[in-house]
């Protein structure tokens, strides 16, 4: 399977500041990465699909101006939470897909980043 890292593992910030989370695919080139958010005791909710070299595709209800995604290389996608507020506190997880075609692709998840906004 693919090895995915995220940095940082956790971050605490003040309300109004911006936070950048990195997702790296360590052992293969990922043209597509996904970003999820998970609130306590809830499921993982897909936020956006990050495509290398093009704009991210956001799910309905996710503010693209607030959650900026950049996928500048085949091994790195970044999620920036701009002007973070306490309601943005959550567990953010990225994943990469291990292949190139449809539903047969296994998704491998990074270890997640826990964001706490004070």
Partner 1 sequence: QQPVQSPQAVILREGEDAVINCSSSKALYSVHWYRQKHGEAPVFLMILLKGGEQKGHDKISASFNEKKQQSSLYLTASQLSYSGTYFCGTVQGGGKLIFGQGTELSVKP
Q: Which is nearer to partner 1, 6 or 78 (CB)?
A: 6
Region for 27 from its dihedrals, namely left if φ exceeds 0, alpha if ψ lies in -120 to 50, beta otherwise: alpha
**CB contact at 8 A, 33 and 77:** yes
46 binds partner 1 (CB under 8 A): yes
Tokens encoding 53? 């070299």
Q: How far is the CB of 97 from partner 1 (least distance, A)?
A: 6
Find where tokens 């595709």 sit.
57
Name residue 96's beta-bridge partners.
Answer: 33, 108
**CB contact at 8 A, 108 and 28:** no
Q: Taking CB under 8 A as the criterion, which residues in 90-109 touch partner 1?
A: 93, 95, 97, 102-109
74 binds partner 1 (CB under 8 A): no
Q: Taking CB under 8 A as the criterion, which residues in 2-41 touch partner 1?
A: 32, 34
43 binds partner 1 (CB under 8 A): yes
Q: How far is the CB of 95 from partner 1 (least distance, A)?
A: 7
Q: Which is nearer to partner 1, 81 or 110 (CB)?
A: 110
Nearest to 81 by CA among 67, 71, 69, 70: 67
Binding residues for partner 1 (CB under 8 A): 1, 32, 34, 42-46, 49, 57, 93, 95, 97, 102-112, 114
């Amino acid at each position: 399977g693919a090895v995915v890292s995220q940095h940082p593992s956790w971050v605490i910030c003040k309300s109004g500041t911006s936070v950048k989370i990195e997702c790296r695919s360590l052992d293969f080139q990922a043209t597509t990465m996904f970003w999820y958010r998970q609130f306590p005791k809830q499921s993982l909710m897909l936020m956006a699909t990050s495509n290398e070299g093009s704009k991210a595709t956001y799910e309905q209800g996710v503010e693209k101006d607030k959650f900026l995604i950049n996928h500048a290389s085949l091994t790195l996608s970044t999620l920036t939470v701009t002007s973070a507020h306490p309601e943005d506190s959550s567990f953010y997880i990225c994943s990469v897909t291990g292949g190139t075609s449809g539903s047969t692709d296994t998704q491998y998840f990074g270890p997640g980043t826990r964001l706490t906004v004070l």
